[in-house]
Structures are given as structure tokens and as C-alpha cells.
Amino acid sequence: MDYQKHFFEIYATLESIENTGEVAQYIPELSRIDASKFGVSLTTIEGKTFSFKDANEKFSIQSIVKVLSLILAYKELGKELWKRVGVEPSGSPFNSLVQLEYEKGIPRNPFINAGAIVIADVLVSILKKPKEDFLKFIQNIARDNSITYSKKIALSEKQSAHRNMALVYLMKSFKNIKNDINEVMDFYFSICSIEMTCEQLNKSFLFLANNGSCPIQQKEIIRISQSKRINAIMQTCGFYDESGDFAFRVGLPGKSGVGGGIVAVHPGKYCVSIWSPKLNKKGNSFLGTKFLEDFTTRVESSIF
């Protein structure tokens, strides 16, 4: 299928509608981004890639990394992991403390901030050199050693992290954080600062479209059943308080980040990554979400 032609046509349509989104303001480094940037790239499991506009420009992947940290923790710990974090959608804004308090410090799922911090704590326990080891894990999957952390973003994030600090202390009070809080949060802020291009994102996530194995390297990253479960969690929890709406409109499992990136996976077919910095009120890329909705509608292809 000529995906590039579709990208071109959908983009033309969307140029006419007003983008009412806002670039993330909560950390200075993110707020300075050029709001007009737009990139999309699709890679099939056969290895063909279709890119459009700024698909080779790096941006801050932010929460998208939470899928990769979850995968490494799940790979290592197996189903023991689910004692410390759930797999249910949260049904409330992405940083709410309310549910966490009612549920005794066990976060609803690994993609809300609290859950991703628990995953960070797990990795700090497991990995010898957490930051180096985690980066190597991603570089290996993506076959790309140029992927790296942004120290600037990590620092900026750290300085405006009061709410995340509240979350981690609350979980510590429920004994669901095992390591030193500063070490856990330093690791957490670092992994959220990773920068990638749309094409690199595809390379990092393609195995989820192929039952857990990289189709290029013919190498199993995680088992089939694990791959299906990661996709299921992305489907039900990948878009904060808008996960149901994304499933409804786009129909693919995926994950968004406040940098304006979205990765979505069509099992058995392809991985698609998109980047547009302005966010809707729920914190997901305004144009990215609309683009993917038009895309799956136009090609009449979703998992449903």
C-alpha cells in the first residue's frame, strides 16, 4: 500500500482545521519547541519504511519510554511484576494521587506516572548500572547507538517535579518503593528524557507488531504471550484519561508522550510513529491523534 500518499493527503486535509492544542508548559525545555514541527513514519514488519516531513528529527519521547521500561522489567521479573502494579485503566487524570491512596500505593497501571515510577524502582533493583544498562537495552532493540538521554531535559524535569515527588513519597509510605527515592527519581527523569526520531521509534517498537520478535534481526525480544499483553496494556491504558477514546477513534494499541509523540502498533502489520508538539487537554498530541484517526479510517484497518 502506498502509505506515503495517504500521509500526504491526510496532512493536506488537516492543515485546514485549527490546532487548538498547546505545547507542554510544565518544563522550560519542552516549552521552547517549534510547535509547527510534524513528522510521521510507518515501518511494516517486512521492513519497508514510509516517512513524511520531520520524521528524522529528534524529539523528547517522554512517556513513550514507559513501554520500553515496562518491557525490560516484565522480561526480567515475569508475572511477579503484577504484584506491584495493576493493568487496569485509571479513569482519572494521569497524575492523580486519589486512586493511589485508595488503593494502598499500588498504581493502577504501568503507564500512569505512579506506575512508571514503580517500574523505575524495579529496574533500579535489577540493573547493575541502571542508566547505562537501560540505554543499551534500547540501543540493541533499535540497532542504533545514537539514541541517548538529554541531560538538559532530565535536569529541567527534576526541577519541576513536585507532584512526582509527592507520588513517590506516597508509595514509599505504602512500602511500594524499595530503593532510595533520589536514586529512583534520578533514573526516572533520565529515561523520560530520551530523544528519538519517528524512524527510531519504529525501530524500537516494531517487535510489538511481530509477536515480540524483531523481524529485521529475527530475534525474540519478549515471548509471544508477553508481547500480546504489552499491546493490551497500551490499548487500555496508553493515553492517560483518553485511552478509551483513542481505542474508539484510532483502534490501535499505542502510547503517547507530552513531547507530542505517539507510537501505535498494528499487530501483524506495522508500527507507526508520529510527532506534533501541541497537546490536547488530555495531554496527547492534538494533530497526532487526529492524523491517526483519519489514517485508520482511510485504510479501513484497525485491530477491531
Residues that bind a second copy (CB under 8 A): 86-92, 96-99, 101-102, 108-109, 162-163, 165-167, 169-170, 172-173, 224-225, 227-229, 231-233, 235-237, 241-245, 247-249, 251, 253, 267, 297, 300, 302-304
> What would the grid cell of residue 196 be?
528519538
Give min distance, CB of 202 to a second copy, in A. Answer: 18
- Establish whether 66 is a catalytic residue: yes
Assess contact for 136 and 130: CB atoms under 8 A: no
Q: Residue 280 phi/psi, 5° resolution? A: -80, 180
Whose Cβ is closer to a second copy: residue 179's or residue 302's?
A: 302
> What would the grid cell of residue 10 be?
491526510
DSSP string, 223-288: -HHHHHHHHHHHHHHTTGGGHHHHHHHT-S-EEE-TTSEEEEEETTTEEEEEE--EE-TTSSBHHH
Whose Cβ is closer to a second copy: residue 85's or residue 147's?
A: 85
Give min distance, CB of 3 to a second copy, in A. Answer: 19
- Establish whether 240 is a catalytic residue: yes
Give min distance, CB of 220 to a second copy, in A. Answer: 14
| Residue from 74, 122, 168, 240 carrying the catalytic annotation | 240
Whose Cβ is closer to a second copy: residue 251's or residue 288's?
A: 251
CB under 8 Å to 184, separation ≥6 — which residues? Answer: 117, 120, 121, 124, 168, 177
- Establish whether 65 is a catalytic residue: no
Q: Enumerate the β-bridge partners of residue 181.
A: none
Whose Cβ is closer to a second copy: residue 120's or residue 194's?
A: 120
Query: How large is the C-alpha radius of gyration of the chain?
Result: 18
- Establish whether 102 is a catalytic residue: no
Whose Cβ is closer to a second copy: residue 235's or residue 285's?
A: 235
- Establish whether 156 is a catalytic residue: no
Assess contact for 19 and 278: CB atoms under 8 A: yes
Q: How far apart are CA 130 and CA 134, in angstroms?
A: 6
| Residue from 3, 74, 188, 270 carrying the catalytic annotation | 188
Give min distance, CB of 9 to a second copy, in A. Answer: 18
Whose Cβ is closer to a second copy: residue 1's or residue 224's?
A: 224
| Residue from 85, 250, 258, 265 carrying the catalytic annotation | 258
CB under 8 Å to 164, separation ≥6 — which residues? Answer: 95, 113, 117, 185, 188
| Residue from 63, 90, 204, 243 carrying the catalytic annotation | 63
CA 34 to chain centre: 21
| Residue from 66, 158, 203, 269 carrying the catalytic annotation | 66
CB under 8 Å to 150, separation ≥6 — which residues? Answer: 29, 60, 193, 194, 195
Give min distance, CB of 260 to a second copy, in A. Answer: 22
Give min distance, CB of 61 to a second copy, in A. Answer: 22
Active site residues: 63, 66, 188, 240, 258
